Structure formats: C-alpha cells, structure tokens
Structure 1
Amino acid sequence: MLSSRRPSRAATSPRGDSKPPRQRLDLDARRAQLLALGLDLFSHRAYDDVSIDEVAQTASISKGLLYHYFPTKRDFYIAVIREAARELVERSLAVDDVPEPERLRTGLDAYLAYVERQGITYAAIFRGGIGSDAEVLAIIEETRSRFLEKLLAEAPVAERPPALRMALRGWIGFVEATSLDWIERHELDRTSLRDLLADLLPEVVRLAMVHGSAESAGAAGPAETPA
C-alpha cells in the first residue's frame, strides 16, 4: 500500500545538504567584518594576489553587497590600509597607564608586535601601497603626525625648538626603516630591537636640544659689549 505522505524537502534535496544561512549584520558590523577580513588577507598576500571574488566568498556575501561598501578593489584596499594604520597608532599609544620609565618601551613593544603580526600590511603602508598612491601617502603622513604629536607632548624638555621636531621626525623614520628591515631579515629579536629604538630616543632629544639652543643663540646675535 502506497503512503499518502509527501516526502520532506530534505529527502528530495538533490545534494542532501544545505548551505548555512547568511548572517545578517548591520552596516557598521558588516563593514568592520570586511575590514578585518581584508586586513587578514592583505597581511599575508600582496595586493594583486587578493581578488574581490575571494573576499566576497570568504565573507559569505555577494560581490554586489561588497561593492555596496567598497565600490572598487582599490577602495577596499585603501580602507583596509587606513584601518591598519589606525590600529597601529592606537595600540602603540595606549600606554598612558604605564609608569613613565617604561612607557616608551611598552609602546614600542606594541608597535613591533603589530609589525611582526601584520608584516605585509605594514610594508604596504610605509612603502606607499599601490605604487605612489596619494591616499596611502596621506595615511602615512597622518600616522607619522600622530606619533610626532605624542613624542613632542611627552618630551622631557622645557622648550621645543624646531630642531627637536625635526629630530623626532627623523627618529620616527628610523623606527619605520628598521622595522621594515627587521620583518625581512629578523636579524634581531624583538626585545633587542625595542631596546635599540628606546635607547636611541633620549640621545636624539639631547642632541636636538643642544643644536636647537645653539641655533637660538646664533639668531639672537652677539651680545653687546659695554663702551
């Protein structure tokens, strides 16, 4: 005798399995998810090796939805670079609760930990990203300005001559250059590199103040001698 019951959909499914439903996120949460995904992808592979198809598939969304947030692959990449730079600055400067003698080393530890974890993305930021991309260069300058502002504010000096600003800017460039060399060669361990950078900064400040004071004295002109 034949059963009058209809087979269930699961029983008639040609594949016998089903895709999990896509997770619905609000706009901010979805954008944050995509940026985190992009950061992970671009931290391990170069720009040309990451496709929009792969990003959409990994995020379980359509390409159309991805393009709703980022109209082009370049827009997506720039947003990822901007987010990476923001995270680098925030992690490095989140040291206000650390006692002064260890504050610099703690900040450098956080900086180098980020460099170590996000090597390719860090290199993309400080080598200009896609060629000499103007937006990436603007992100670099903003990042440097944030660090310079913090260093100037916390410099243990009464005056801040132009030589100090220039010297601190140079130290920031030194940190960037040595970090890029480090992720390529790893000839020092992280602690040794941190200590090198930390020990150099007070000497940079000292020499800047010496030359800044000499410049100020020279600008004032020779002292008058009594008749």
Structure 2
Amino acid sequence: MATRRKRDDSSTGKAPPPGRRVARAIVRRVRDGRQRVRLDNDARRAQLLELGMKVFSEKTYDEVSIDDLARAAGISKGLLYHYFPTKRDLYLAGLRTTAAELLARTDVSAIDASPIERVRHGIDAYLSFVAERKVSYVSLMRGGIGSDPEVLRIVEDVRAALVERMFDGPGSPLAIGDHRTPLARAALRGWLGFAEAASLEWLTHPDLEQATIRDLLVDMLLPTLRLALGFSLSRTW
C-alpha cells in the first residue's frame, strides 16, 4: 500500500512544490499589504488631526473651512471627507485625542512619593504637555464651537477627571473622612481654572520658567484647600 502523502511538506524535510510556494508568498504579500494600508491610514488620520488642530488654533472654528483644512494637509477635499465626514467630526476627534493624551501624561499615581510631591510631578507633567502640545492644548481649553454640547462634554470630562485624581490619589488626605465636600470640590475646580488660565498665559510669555509656574500653582493649591477644609494640609502632605 502506498504511503499516504502528508499535507505538510515541511514535515518530510522536502520543500513544498513551486506552486504552493508561490501561493504562500501571495498570501503573505496580501496580508502585509493590508497591515501597511491600515498603518498608513492610522498615520494619515493622526497627521490630519494634528494639522487640523493647528488650523483651528489660528482661527475661530467658524472661520475655518474645509478648503482651509484640505489646503493645510495638502490633500483634496474628497480625501479629507474620507477620513472625516464633516469639519465638526475632525474637530471633535482632535479634542478627544488631546484630552486622552493629557490625562495619560498627567497620571502620576504610580510614582512612589508623598502626596505633595505627586502633585508637583503632576503639575510638571501638565505643563510639559502644554509646552509640547501647545496648539492642541489651546484648542482643547478654548473650545472653538461655542456652546456645542459635545465640545463642552469633552472639556468637562477632563476637568472632572483631574479633580477626582486630587480626591482619590494614593495617600491623599482628601480621600480620608468627610473631606469630599461641595466646598472642597468647588475649591479644586476653582484652582484648576486658575491653572488653565495661568498655563495659557505662560504660553504667551515663554521667558517664564516652567518651574516658576509650577511652584506658583503648588503655592496656590495648599492655601485654597486649607480655606476649604478648615485646617492645614502641611502635616498630612
């Protein structure tokens, strides 16, 4: 009886027939091509977001046209529409990306340090992001579509997440007892508003050192919380 031929020629030590080698090569090329197309699409989309946010930072939302965006990207309007059906879609996608990056960059919960040192690290990370992503940060904080609810939601979600970190951060005295009061929350939101305004002002005065702005924000935070909580945090922080 003839030995049954095995399907996998590699198990016999023999090279597969030429036709099979060609077929496998074609499959690999198709698979690799699809991966390249997907990566190219992702890279192009990210590039369009960055260029789009730069345009939005230089003009008001209403002043920016699809023609402006396509011209800045060096592509046709048709190709731009392929990635973003409307100007608003591009703008919102850019804001969401910026918001996610800001929250990721300022997460210092894993740093082994005292609460106040983590605050310093967090503020430094915040300011570094502001300096490195100036265009995107300005677009996020100044939200160009007026009272558009989706824009307001994105910005509000970032602010709420940053405030929650202050309450829930490892070792934070605000996570103990009844310190999560409406007054404490109002104090943190007020301080965060100050931090945003100071950061935007800092961008227009590059002669100011980042460490100077950081120390200013830290020095503003402690008395703000002391007034809201009714006691000093110096012992616990």
Q: TM-score surpassing 0.5?
A: yes
Structure 1: gaps of 5 or more residues: 1-22, 212-227
Q: Does 1:207 align with 2:227?
A: yes
C-alpha deviation, 1:36, in angstroms: 4.2
Q: Cα deviations across residues 122-173 of structure 1 (Å, max 9, x unaligned)?
A: 1221122233333221111011011011011134143222111111111111
C-alpha deviation, 1:205, in angstroms: 1.6
- Alpha carbons 2:99, 2:154 under 8 Å: kept: yes
Partner residue, 2:168: 153
Q: How does 1:68-217 map to 2 (within 5 A)?
A: 68-100=82-114, 101-154=116-169, 155-157=172-174, 158=176, 159=178, 160-186=180-206, 188-210=208-230
Q: Cα deviations across residues 34-88 of structure 1 (Å, max 9, x unaligned)?
A: 1344225524752528834236536xxx654542331012211210111011101
Structure 2: gaps of 5 or more residues: 1-34, 232-237
Q: Does 1:25 align with 2:37?
A: yes
Partner residue, 2:29: none
Partner residue, 2:49: 38
Farther off after superposition, 124-133 or 162-171: 124-133
Distance across 2 between alignment mates of 1:176 and 1:93? 17
| Distance verdict in 2 for CA 1:111–1:209, change over 3 Å | same
SS at match of 2:208: coil
Distance across 1 between alignment mates of 2:69 and 2:36? 20
- Alpha carbons 1:115, 1:179 under 8 Å: kept: yes
Q: Cα deviations across residues 8-55 of structure 1 (Å, max 9, x unaligned)?
A: xxxxxxxxxxxxxxx9422x7624541344225524752528834236
Q: Which amino acid aligns with 1:77?
A: Y
Distance across 2 between alignment mates of 1:137 and 1:99? 34
Within the candidate set 36, 46, 68, 1:51 is matched to 68
Partner residue, 1:219: none
C-alpha deviation, 1:111, in angstroms: 0.8
Distance across 2 between alignment mates of 1:104 and 1:200? 12
- Alpha carbons 2:108, 2:121 under 8 Å: kept: no
- Alpha carbons 1:144, 1:172 under 8 Å: kept: yes
- Alpha carbons 1:92, 1:111 under 8 Å: kept: yes
Distance across 2 between alignment mates of 1:123 and 1:115? 8
Distance across 1 between alignment mates of 2:198 and 2:151? 20
Per the normalisation by structure 2, the TM-score is: 0.67
SS at match of 1:188: coil
When the two chains are superposed, the root-mean-square deviation of aligned CA atoms in Å is 2.8
Distance across 1 between alignment mates of 2:184 and 2:153? 23
- Alpha carbons 1:35, 1:83 under 8 Å: kept: no
SS at match of 1:129: coil
Q: Which amino acid aligns with 2:100?
A: R
SS at match of 1:51: helix
Distance across 2 between alignment mates of 1:69 and 1:178? 35
Per the normalisation by structure 1, the TM-score is: 0.70
Distance across 1 between alignment mates of 2:144 and 2:97? 14
- Alpha carbons 2:84, 2:90 under 8 Å: kept: yes
| Distance verdict in 2 for CA 1:37–1:98, change over 3 Å | farther
